[in-house]
Structure 1
Amino acid sequence: MLPAMAKFRFSFIFLLFIVIKCESVNVDTISSDIRFKNVDRTIDISSQLVKISSKLTLENTGGTPVKNFLIAVESAAKNNVAFVGAKDSNNKDLRLVETTVSGYDYVRFWRVELKDALNAGATSLVTVESVFTKALLPFPTAITQQEDQLVKYIGNLYTYTPYYVTSQKTNVILNTKSVETFTKVKPYTQQDGGFQYGPYPAVKPFSEKELVIHYKNNSPFLTVTRIERLIEVSHWGNIAVEEVVEIEHSGAKLKGPFSRYDYQQDHHSGPASVRSYKTLLPASASDVYYRDTNGNISTSNMKVKKDSVELDLRPRYPLFGGWRTHYTLGYNVPSYEYLYQSGNDYLLKMRVVDHIFDDMQVDEVVTKIILPEGSTSVKVNLPYPVTRLPDSLHYTYLDTKGRPVISFTKKNIVENHIQDFQLRYTFPRLLMLQEPLLVVGFLYALFLCVIIYVRLDFSIHKAEHHHKD
């Protein structure tokens, strides 16, 4: 009897696990009622990122209203996707949820939730934006100091979608007229700084045709391999921010020796190298410092603007392909701009990651928030999925229990991820007196010890006094 009961319990637990597992994964189906009446796509490969913007005209050919549709990325590019977003005809953001479709495990899907259901026979305009990192390949992979950098873009001539497309065209934006080779599929036209492909009629679902463009691209190919962002919150009116940044030039590697003399004498020497870049800080940033392992780096300029502080960061040496640098950037901002209070409850609103340079790509960011000692009931609301790291404690002057540290990490970051997180916590206001009372108590004990030491006589015998006759 017991073995049968144990077997029944095991089967029940196993089935329950399968049900929970299936519910935790989004699974969708491809609707045959949806088609794209028109697709107008723009591929921007003028920087180190690949930015694709597609204007989709949805058409509901079925008999019932449609509340959502799917967008897809082919297997060749799915690991390079950093950001995907969608907006309606009123430029309002639409909700996206990553999902799966049975039988298409090699494809990445997102479900786009429409604000208003699309009725039968109606059309709707949706703009989908996507950003891809490390999708431009240096070719050749190594160049000399005097050579320009050539890169290859390998993509899809058609919009990769699970739906039938009535008509579509593609515009490719470059930053140069110097093009080595490109895909020629009629109809197409070559313009100054770009190409136009199409329109192509009657494109079937999941259609693929290789689009290759080999061209000159001397844009800064900088990759932040890792950034650790530390935010220390103080209820005494200040928030300290410090970033430890590791950067690598991810373009074509330098072939042969580097001549400092030629680099300084000839302004056109090293066209693919990076001499400096601009970092934007909050407009209220103060006490800015910029240093590496050797100390402060003085070759930088700071310009205060209306809505930001612009830093022109110049490393100690120019960055060529394969070269790296490491530095620390820190500043202070007033807490009243980012910290909101309601009784003993506080709300902190700051950015997950800040602007490092234009068209940035970040392999990994680790954000740490140090809260005041005694903070409890911490809740974090993030604008996109991240990996939450274990909480820890940070000890500094006059701390007794330690300050709680909330940490999370995110990989494959671009400028679209510069968004605010919200962190709520509870902090009794009386605890603000803890540090002043500790200082007062320490000084009181110190003075008391001095008084006792001066007033009391700790000698074993009294000193002898000699009197004159």
Structure 2
Amino acid sequence: MFKFLLYVLFISNAYCLQKINEALNNKNVERTIDLTSQLVKITATVNVENTGKELARSYLIALEPELNGNISFVGAKDFSKNDLRVNPIQIEGRSKDIFYNVQFRQPVESGRTVTITIEVVLIKALVPYPSSITQKEKQLVRYYGNHYFYSPYTTQKQKTEVEIYSRVIENYTKFKPVNQVDSKINYGPYDKVAPFSKDEMIIHYENNAPFLTVTRIERVVEISHWGNIAIEEAIEICHTGAKLKGPFSRYDYQRDTGSNHHSIKSYKTILPSGAHSIYYRDMNGNISTSAVKVQKDWIELELRPRFPLFGGWQSSYVLGYSIPSYQYLFKKSTGEYLLNVKVLDHIFDDMYVEELETKIVLPVGVSNIKVKLPYDMQRLSDGVTYKYLDNIGRTVIRVAKNNLVEQHIQDIEITYNWQPHLLLHEPLLVSLALFILFIIVIIYVRLDFSISKPEHVKKE
């Protein structure tokens, strides 16, 4: 019963019912919709005005019900680019709409205006149309959006700029005032827009950006107090763009030297600057078609699959490397350590990860483990694994999350207690094993296992 009450309290805090503060209004909104990749990135700079008499402490972000299942990330920053706290909530009488509550750093006084920047990343919001194409055809997609900035507040003035992958636009809705300049479409300005206003925006255009999806990634981070952290990622990828129609011709593919193609030949992964001992292999063995470029603050690794990926094609591989532990493992006090490692790292630009499971293997003998997650994740049950020469299992921290993008590349913090004398654990085991082996060899060479005595012994 007590656990049930705690669960109800947690749910009520995360999704508390709240009323809309009608004293707030959007004085001016400048919105940008980025359609240049497989993700839809919406950025809105909003001037929020408090027309009421009381202090305003929070602001509501509203998203259309049609976006349910497409939202991967929602964030907000203030005028100084500091992150603001954003939490999902529910609003009385608006059960179908999607709301997030943004906490101001400082309450907004009556008659004052504050500027915030809202960032929303949508997944699976671009629909290939047609859904299947031949090897030589270009990939066309459709985007369904809203001409208006969807908000629970009145918007005094707003305009929207849509960035397209290329100039090739089949058609788009002509909601005046509107104009197209090269690969950009400008909507607005629109004045005095009522709350929750909707007008469907449809854009049909060419988009040959890589529609590469990580269907599953299993990331294993192994911690060693000998000065090394080993990371290995088992990655399954799929081309989720328009499916390939008809046969694949290697001859035509090699003749096509243009870079603007919907197939995926290679992509670049960013590794930490101290990464070394890098390996890249699939089920057939090591893949040598990769290139490593050392940059100033990171290492750029270009990965080339064994075959190009067309729509509907899949592949899988394992990427591993090691990094020095002093950059991520810190000693807080005697016997207490703090570990900061990324729960997810960069795989390719504009990445989308459907399913992630991260395993962090801690050293032998840790205790009093505390885990601080960077955002809402599923904490799986801890596991136990055995490495070389281990007679005591190592604790494995396991976390999982679905539908991730680059904004989810953040650190997980783990605090634990560990005694330095445990470094001698494995060397002592090796020494003991060798000592026992030598004793066995000494005894063996001194024993006589022959059935009869030698001839020279009999004559004596």
TM range (shorter): over 0.9
Do the aligned residues in 2 keep the contact of 1:146 with 1:270 (CA within 8 Å)?
A: no
The TM-score, its normalising length taken from structure 1, stands at: 0.94
**Aligned pair partner of 2:129 in 135, 139, 147:** 139
1:365 maps onto 2:356 in alignment? yes
Cα distance in 2 between the residues matched to 1:447 and 1:376: 36
Counterpart in the other structure of 1:387: 378
8 Å Cα contact 2:14-2:89 kept in structure 1: no
2:169 to 165, 168, 179: 179
1:103 Cα shift?
A: 2.0
SS at match of 1:268: coil
CA distance in structure 2 between the partners assigned to 1:270 and 1:191 by the alignment = 21
2:288 is equivalent to residue 292 of structure 1: no
Q: Say yes or no: does 1:318 pair with 2:308.
A: yes
Match of 2:230 in 1: 240
1:48-87 paired onto structure 2 within 5 Å: 48-87=38-77
CA contact (8 A) 2:15 2:88 kept: no
- Residue in 2 that maps onto 1:4: none
For residue 398 of structure 2, the aligned residue among 402, 407, 414 is 407
CA–CA separation in structure 2 for the residues paired with 1:163 and 1:196: 23
Q: Give the unaligned 5+ runs of structure 2.
A: none
Q: 5 Å matches for 1:96-107?
A: 96-107=86-97
| 1:72, distance to aligned residue in structure 2 (A) | 1.1
CA contact (8 A) 2:221 2:230 kept: yes
Equivalence for 2:440? 449
Alignment counterpart, residue 149 of structure 1, candidates 136, 139, 148: 139
**1:331 equivalent in structure 2:** 321
Map 1:267-286 onto structure 2 (within 5 A): 267-268=257-258, 271-286=261-276
Structure 2 CA distance for partners of 1:458 and 1:343, relative to 1, 3 Å:
same
Equivalent residue number for residue 162 of structure 1: 152
Provide closer, same or farther for how the CA distance between residues 144 and 461 of structure 1 changes in structure 2, counting only shifts above 3 A. Answer: closer
| Counterpart in the other structure of 1:6 | none
> How far 1:219 moved relative to its partner?
0.5
155 and 64 in structure 1: CA distance in 2 versus 1, 3 angstrom threshold: same
Other structure's SS at 2:433 match: helix
Distance in 2 (CA, whole Å) between partners of 1:178 and 1:27 is 45
The question of whether the paired residues in 1 share the 8 Å contact of 2:208 and 2:260 is answered with no
Task: Give the drift of 1:13.
Answer: 12
Residue in 2 aligned with 1:421?
412
Aligned-partner Cα distance in 2 for 1:254–1:13: 52
2:196 to 182, 185, 206: 206
Q: Is the contact between residue 28 and residue 158 of structure 2 (CA under 8 Å) also seen in structure 1? A: yes
Q: What are structure 1's unaligned runs of at least 5 residues?
A: 1-9
In structure 1, distance between residues paired with 2:128 and 2:350 = 17
Is the alpha carbon distance of 1:418 and 1:20 closer, same or farther for their aligned partners in structure 2, counting shifts above 3 Å? Answer: closer
- Larger mean CA deviation between 183-192 and 249-258 belongs to 183-192
Aligned residue in 2 for 1:127: 117
Distance in 2 between residues matched to 1:388 and 1:314, nearest whole Å: 34
Q: Return the offset for 1:455.
A: 2.7
Q: Secondary structure at the match of 2:69?
A: helix
Instruction: Give the letter aligned to residue 276 of structure 2.
Output: S
Contact 2:37/2:209 (8 A) holds in 1: yes
C-alpha contact 2:62 2:99 (8 A) present in aligned 1: yes
My pick for the range that moved more, 367-376 or 264-273, is 264-273
Give how far 1:433 is off: 1.1
CA contact (8 A) 1:262 1:269 kept: no
Structure-2 separation of matches of 1:167 and 1:58 = 12
Query: Quick one: structure 1 residues 19 and 77, their matched pair in 2 at CA, closer, same or farther if it must change by over 3 Å?
Result: closer
Letter in 1 for 2:209: S
Distance 1:134 1:446 in 2: 61
Partner SS for 1:354: coil
Q: CA deviation at 1:22?
A: 3.9
Q: Distance in 1 between matches of 2:57 and 2:265?
A: 50
Residue type of the partner of 1:104? R
Q: Which moved more, 1:42-51 or 1:458-467?
A: 458-467
Asked if the contact 1:145–1:269 (Cα under 8 Å) also holds between the matched residues in 2, the reply is no
Q: The residue matched to 1:450 in structure 2 has which SS?
A: helix
Q: Deviations over 1:269-309 (max 9, x none)?
A: 98210110001101110010000000011111111111111
Paired AA for residue 414 in structure 1: V
Q: Work out the CA distance in 2 between the residues paired with 1:13 and 1:455.
A: 67
Would you say the 8 A contact 2:14–2:87 is kept in 1?
no
Residue 91 of structure 1: how far off its partner (Å): 1.1
- Aligned residue for 1:5? none
Partner of 2:216: 226
Letter in 1 for 2:283: T
Any idea what SS the aligned residue of 1:229 has?
strand
What secondary structure does 1:424 align onto? Answer: strand
Residue 396 of structure 1 deviates from its aligned partner by 1.5
CA RMSD of aligned residues (A): 2.0
> C-alpha separation between the residues in 1 aligned to 2:259 and 2:438?
68
Aligned to 2:429: 438
Aligned-pair distance for 1:401? 2.2
Contact 1:147/1:270 (CA < 8 Å) preserved in 2?
A: no
CA–CA separation in structure 2 for the residues paired with 1:261 and 1:103: 60
- Give, in angstroms, the shift of residue 78 of structure 1: 2.6
Aligned length: 458
Aligned to 1:252: 242
2-side partners of 1:271 and 1:16: how far apart? 53
Is the contact between residue 36 and residue 58 of structure 1 (CA under 8 Å) also seen in structure 2? yes
Opposite residue 401 of structure 2, the aligned amino acid is K
Give the TM-score of the pair, scaled to structure 2: 0.96
Whole-angstrom CA distance in 1 between matches of 2:260 and 2:178: 34
Q: Render the CA deviation track for 1:9-40: whole Å, top value 9, x for unaligned.
A: x9x99999877764564222111111111111
